[in-house]
């Protein structure tokens, strides 16, 4: 498989190249040259397979030319071996037609593990092949960072630096990052918000000499390998609910638009997903776009679902690229205008086509707590403040004649304060994390300043050279 940048000015790469590059060097995002297609018979043949085997078969067309199938199978098996639920991604029925797809049984209790556990293995494999060393830098509003760190801590030929907005992640989220003692891990608490952190990461990538000197790589959901690794669970869930003979809908609590984009990719590959529901908290730029063709940037506001406190959904660019007929010149112009004006609207027919498939749903903090409480009362199911948005969206939709897969993206124990407010008690952490609050933390603080951050990354890279 070959990959091309959404902005059309970067070289085409193979899967290994895309994995290591992350962002394309023209500022765009890599996309497969075409979507692999599974026939109804191909899909039926995946039914009943253990999740790691299904994942390997779904991913094979994307890694073809870079990674042998037997290696891919082995990596999928190892990536999901540590998950605490036997089926890896259990589907839990909540109502006649609403199913929670639990994506949080990995080491850091959030759906980011689904992709990153595999990506850690992919990196190690590809780097060993090439005899290279890389430095991963990433920004996190909470869950990405801990999942990325858990995926590469202690691995050879990789350093990882994660920027998080100081004081703006939950304590569990912070501790899951800062209590990892592996010496290839650097945590930086930045004085700023998540978008500042993400901008700093983008600026490091845009600084070509620095990028080359450090051999930078990304693990944010701008890396196509992550999108790819999120496709198999939608295939798995849809097959379990009757696809390819029956349509399904998906409802996804959305931040950077990566998880829902993976569902859309599953549709391009042949899975009959008839509707996509985009769940938001008060940071509702996507909802405003879907309801009125108005993508205008406002400040980020803190909410009970911090992993969705994002005003620029990076992966939306990938969807737009597709709906603009893969016209990279037009996309590049659109993104440049958006950058300079903070506003975007697209041609009416393009917007109508997007709004036909994607429906928006927004939940305030008060409604989030009320819905958590209600679901707990009515179905004895405890959903975290992110997952509940997808579940409430499915409920709000009413009966639509097809099952709705609501992506459950975090374990409720990750957000004990919100859960306590909603239902009156704090959910316990699972056994492997039960002493998290007693572990020592390790991180440094830095201002929201590119030069200062680059110095931190460089010093860390050279830590064994100058002592």
Catalytic residues: 112
> Which of 38, 257, 276, 460 lies at the binding interface for ligand PLP (CB under 6 A)?
257
Query: Rounded CA gap, 132 and 74, in Å?
Result: 22
Q: Is 138 exposed, middle or buried (0-12, 13-18, 19+ CB in 10 A)?
A: buried
Q: Is 253 in the site for ligand PLP (CB under 6 A)?
A: yes
Least Å distance, CB 108 to ligand PLP, is 9
Q: Is 307 in the site for ligand PLP (CB under 6 A)?
A: yes
Q: Do residues 300 and 163 make contact, with C-beta atoms less than 8 angstroms apart?
A: no
Q: Is 176 in the site for ligand PLP (CB under 6 A)?
A: no
Q: Which is nearer to ligand PLP, 74 or 90 (CB)?
A: 90
What is the residue-wise DSSP string for 170-239? Answer: -HHHHHHHHT---TTEEEEEESS-HHHHHHHHHHHHH-HHHHHHHTEEE-STTSHHHHHHHHHHHHHHHH
Q: Do residues 5 and 30 make contact, with C-beta atoms less than 8 angstroms apart?
A: yes
Q: Which is nearer to ligand PLP, 184 or 307 (CB)?
A: 307
> Which of 113, 143, 159, 371 lies at the binding interface for ligand PLP (CB under 6 A)?
143
Least Å distance, CB 389 to ligand PLP, is 8
Query: Rounded CA gap, 32 and 224, in Å?
Result: 9
Q: Do residues 16 and 126 make contact, with C-beta atoms less than 8 angstroms apart?
A: yes
Rounded alpha-carbon distances, angstroms, from residue 150 to 116, 121, 187: 8, 12, 13
Query: Within positions 356 to 385, which residues make up the interface with ligand PLP, using CB under 6 A?
Result: none
The number of residues that bind ligand PLP (CB under 6 A) is 17
Q: Which is nearer to ligand PLP, 308 or 453 (CB)?
A: 308
Candidates 66-74, 257-265, 364-372, 428-436: pick the segment binding ligand PLP (CB under 6 A). 257-265
Q: Is 161 in the site for ligand PLP (CB under 6 A)?
A: no
> Which of 63, 217, 221, 283 lies at the binding interface for ligand PLP (CB under 6 A)?
221
> Which of 376, 409, 412, 422 lies at the binding interface for ligand PLP (CB under 6 A)?
409
Q: Is 308 in the site for ligand PLP (CB under 6 A)?
A: yes
Q: Do residues 178 and 187 make contact, with C-beta atoms less than 8 angstroms apart?
A: yes
Candidates 54-62, 110-118, 417-425, 438-446: pick the segment binding ligand PLP (CB under 6 A). 110-118
Is 28 in a helix, a strand, or coil? coil
Q: Do residues 346 and 369 make contact, with C-beta atoms less than 8 angstroms apart?
A: no
Q: Binding residues for ligand PLP, per CB under 6 A?
A: 110-112, 143, 221, 253-259, 307-308, 386, 409-410
């Amino acid at each position: 498989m070959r990959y091309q940048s959404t902005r059309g000015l970067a070289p085409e790469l193979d899967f290994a190249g895309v994995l290591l590059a992350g962002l394309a060097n023209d500022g765009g995002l890599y996309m497969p040259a075409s979507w692999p297609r599974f026939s109804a018979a191909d899909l039926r043949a995946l039914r009943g397979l253990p999740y790691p085997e299904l994942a390997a078969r779904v991913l094979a067309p994307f890694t073809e030319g870079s990674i042998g199938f037997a290696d891919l199978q082995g990596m999928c098996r190892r990536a999901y071996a540590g998950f605490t639920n036997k089926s890896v991604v259990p589907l839990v029925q909540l109502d006649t037609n609403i199913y929670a797809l639990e994506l949080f049984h990995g080491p850091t209790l959030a759906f980011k593990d689904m992709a990153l556990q595999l990506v850690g293995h992919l990196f190690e494999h590809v780097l060993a092949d090439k005899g290279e060393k890389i430095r991963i830098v990433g920004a996190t509003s909470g869950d990405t960072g801990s999942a990325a760190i858990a995926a590469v801590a202690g691995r050879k030929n990789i350093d990882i630096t994660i920027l998080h907005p100081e004081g703006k992640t939950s304590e569990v989220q912070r501790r899951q990052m800062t209590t990892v003692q592996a010496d290839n891990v650097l945590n930086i608490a930045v004085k700023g918000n998540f978008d500042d952190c993400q901008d700093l990461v983008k600026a490091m990538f845009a600084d070509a000499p620095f990028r080359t000197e450090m051999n930078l790589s990304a693990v944010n959901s701008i890396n196509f390998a992550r999108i790819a690794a999120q496709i198999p669970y939608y295939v798995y869930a849809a097959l379990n609910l009757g696809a390819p003979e029956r349509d399904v809908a998906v409802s996804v609590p959305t931040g950077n638009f990566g998880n829902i984009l993976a569902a859309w990719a599953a549709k391009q590959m042949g899975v009959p997903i008839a509707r996509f529901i985009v769940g938001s908290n008060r940071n509702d730029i996507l909802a405003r776009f879907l309801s009125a063709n108005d993508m205008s940037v406002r400040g980020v506001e803190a909410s009970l679902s911090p992993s969705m406190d994002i005003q620029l959904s990076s992966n939306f660019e990938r969807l737009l690229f597709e709906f603009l007929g893969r016209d990279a010149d037009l996309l590049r112009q659109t993104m440049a205008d958006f950058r300079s004006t903070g506003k975007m609207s697209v041609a009416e027919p393009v917007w109508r086509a997007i709004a036909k498939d994607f429906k928006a749903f927004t939940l305030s903090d008060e409604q989030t707590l009320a819905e958590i409480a209600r679901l707990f009362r009515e179905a004895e199911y405890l959903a975290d403040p992110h997952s509940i948005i997808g579940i409430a969206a499915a409920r709000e939709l009413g009966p639509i004649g097809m099952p709705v897969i609501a992506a459950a993206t975090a374990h409720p124990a990750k957000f004990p304060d919100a859960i306590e407010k909603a239902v009156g008690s704090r959910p316990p952490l699972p056994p492997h994390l039960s002493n998290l609050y007693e572990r020592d933390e390790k991180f440094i603080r830095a201002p929201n300043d590119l030069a200062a951050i680059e110095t931190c990354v460089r010093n860390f890279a050279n830590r064994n050279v100058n002592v």
